[in-house]
Amino acid sequence: MLSSSIMQETAEVHVREEAKQDSAALLQKLTTESQNDASQGFDTKSALEIARIINHEDAKVAGTVKKAIPEIAQVIDQVARSLRDGGRLIYVGAGSSGRIAALDASECPPTYSTAPGQVQYIMAGGPKALASAVEVNEDSEELGQRDIARRRPTRKDVVIGVSASGRTPYVVAAVAYARARGAYTAAVTCNNGTPLGEAANTAIIAEVGPEVVSGSTRMKAGTAQKMILNMITTGAMTRLGYVYENLMVNVHMQNSKLVERGIRILMRACNIDRETAVQTIKSAGRSVPVALVMLKAKVDKPEAVRRLAKSDGNVRLAIEDNILEL
């Protein structure tokens, strides 16, 4: 007769096996995991045919993202409010999705001069997973909860889970934890009816369908996710006034390329020559927003700085402060 401990261990094994079978069955139902009829016989194609098939499938991505624009707009406004009130945008992802999220977060400081802590990312497996595959961590709900808990999410924050399948345990658990602590949460996924979409306040779904190489969600799904994350941060920063007209006026001039970009932005915005732009940027302490307010509102540096502080960095409002006072 089997001992109770052996019987319990056997039962646990059966439970785990059933869970694996259920997980496999669910995976097969995802559109991102289906086989793509358009790329049948892909391995027999010429280089030109391969490129054409991929390009044809990629052309569908923008249309799928377009369907999610209302939800994207909701998240843009929420992120803008959060950052304005001293909160943070925190991305959570794993694998390709996590790397795309890390890229978007990392590019906000040089593009908009945001503080490093304002837009963050959490990656399953940590920073080393950006360059090396540590995909096993994405199956752990405990690690997802632990990693987001270390950031101490609050009602001021926005936490966005990024997962093509919408069922990555690490990401789902992190988003659920953040929402339970009052953070506004969003999901960016490429499948309908997913655990991640259900865990979040807002689900942004871009159903790109089967990949050219079945299950390789770094392709169409990855492209859709990058487009969406770009829209969220670009939209939020624009709503905050870090863009003037369509110019990247909050550029952080840390290298020669960015310095040159700042000069050209000022020349365009104010219709001035290069020498005037260079001299104004110097007198503005190498700040394009300060220089722009100085020129547009015809004020000195201290007044430009005061206006920008009063408007929370919103360049247009800082310029129009002069108009309102007339």
Distance CA 126, CA 137 (A): 9
107 catalytic per annotation: yes
Q: Which amino acid is at 22?
A: D
Tokens of 37: 């009829």
User: What value, to the nearest 5°, has the Cα angle with vertex 163 and ends 160 and 168?
Assistant: 105
Contact 212, 53 (CB under 8 A): yes
pLDDT of residue 30: 75
User: What value, to the nearest 5°, has the Cα angle with vertex 112 and ends 73 and 269?
Assistant: 95
Q: What is the CA radius of gyration of the chain?
A: 24
Q: What does the domain layout of the chain look like in residue ranges?
A: 61-239, 256-325
Digit-by-digit pLDDT tens for the chain (326 residues) are 445 555 455 544 443 444 444 445 555 677 777 677 677 888 898 999 999 999 999 999 999 999 999 999 999 999 999 999 999 999 999 999 999 999 999 999 988 989 989 999 999 988 888 877 666 678 899 999 999 999 999 999 999 999 999 999 999 999 999 999 999 999 999 999 999 999 999 999 999 988 888 888 889 999 999 999 999 999 999 999 999 999 988 887 878 888 898 899 999 999 999 999 999 999 999 999 999 999 999 999 999 999 999 999 999 999 987 444 43
Tokens of 312: 């929370």
Annotation: CATH topology of 256-325: Helicase, Ruva Protein; domain 3 (1.10.8)
Residue 88 DSSP one-character state? -
303 catalytic per annotation: no
Distance CA 291, CA 251 (A): 12
Burial class (CB in 10 A: 0-12, 13-18, 19+), 88: buried
Contact 224, 232 (CB under 8 A): no
Residue among 57, 71, 138, 211 flagged as catalytic: 138
Annotation: CATH topology of 61-239: Rossmann fold (3.40.50)
Distance CA 92, CA 198 (A): 16
Residue among 33, 107, 135, 320 flagged as catalytic: 107
List strands edge to edge, sheet with 158-162: 119-123, 89-93, 158-162, 184-189, 202-205
pLDDT of residue 31: 73
Tokens of 102: 């890390």
